[in-house]
Amino acid sequence: MNLNQIQSIYFVGAGGIGMSALIRYFLSKGFAVAGYDRTPSPLTNHIINEGAAIHYTDNVDLIPGTFRSPDKTVVVYTPAVPESHTELNFFRTNGFEVLKRAQILGMITQAKRGLCIAGTHGKTTTSSMTAHLLKQSHIDCNAFLGGILKNYGSNLMLSEQSDLTVIEADEYDRSFHQLSPFMAVITSADPDHLDIYGTPEAYRESFEKFTSLIRPQGVLVMKSGIHLTPRLQSGVQLFTYSASDEKADFHARNIRIGNGEIIFDFVAPSLTIPDIQLGVPIKINIENGVAAIALAWLNGALPDEIRGAMKSFAGAERRFDFHIKNERIVFMDDYAHHPEELKNCILSVKELYPARKVTGIFQPHLYTRTRDFMEEFAQSLSLLDELILLDIYPAREEPIPGITSQVIFDKVTCFEKTLCTKEQLPEIIASGVYDVVLTLGAGDIDRLVEPIREILKKKQ
> pLDDT tens, 347-399?
989 888 888 999 999 999 999 999 999 999 999 999 999 999 999 999 878 89
Counting the structural domains of the chain, the total is 3
- Kindly state whether residue 60 falls inside one of the protein's structural domains: yes
pLDDT at 120: 86
- The pTM (predicted TM-score) of the whole model is 0.82
Cα 358–chain centre separation: 24
pLDDT at 4: 66
pLDDT at 205: 94
Distance CA 278, CA 264 (A): 9
Asked whether residue 303 falls in the same domain as residue 347, the answer is: no
Distance CA 93, CA 171 (A): 28
* Ramachandran area for residue 73 (φ above 0: left; ψ -120 to 50: alpha; else beta): beta
pLDDT at 109: 80
pLDDT at 316: 83
Cβ neighbors of 437 (< 8 A, separation 6 or more) are 329, 330, 331, 332, 359, 360, 361, 452, 456
Asked whether residue 340 falls in the same domain as residue 300, the answer is: no
pLDDT at 252: 98
Asked whether residue 151 falls in the same domain as residue 60, the answer is: no
* pLDDT beneath 70, residues of the chain: 1-4, 460
Distance CA 456, CA 331 (A): 8
Give the structural domain span for 163.
110-312
Asked whether residue 190 falls in the same domain as residue 210, the answer is: yes
Asked whether residue 326 falls in the same domain as residue 429, the answer is: yes
- Kindly state whether residue 452 falls inside one of the protein's structural domains: yes
Distance CA 418, CA 409 (A): 8
pLDDT at 367: 93
Computed over every residue of the chain, the mean pLDDT equals 92
Closest by alpha carbon to 72, among 4, 5, 2? 5
Find the DSSP H helices in 353-438.
Answer: 367-381, 406-409, 425-431
pLDDT at 75: 96
Asked whether residue 329 falls in the same domain as residue 307, the answer is: no
Distance CA 123, CA 147 (A): 10
- Kindly state whether residue 300 falls inside one of the protein's structural domains: yes
What tens digit of pLDDT does each residue of 233-252 get? 999 999 999 999 999 999 99
| End position of a domain, from candidates 288, 312, 336 | 312
pLDDT at 1: 59
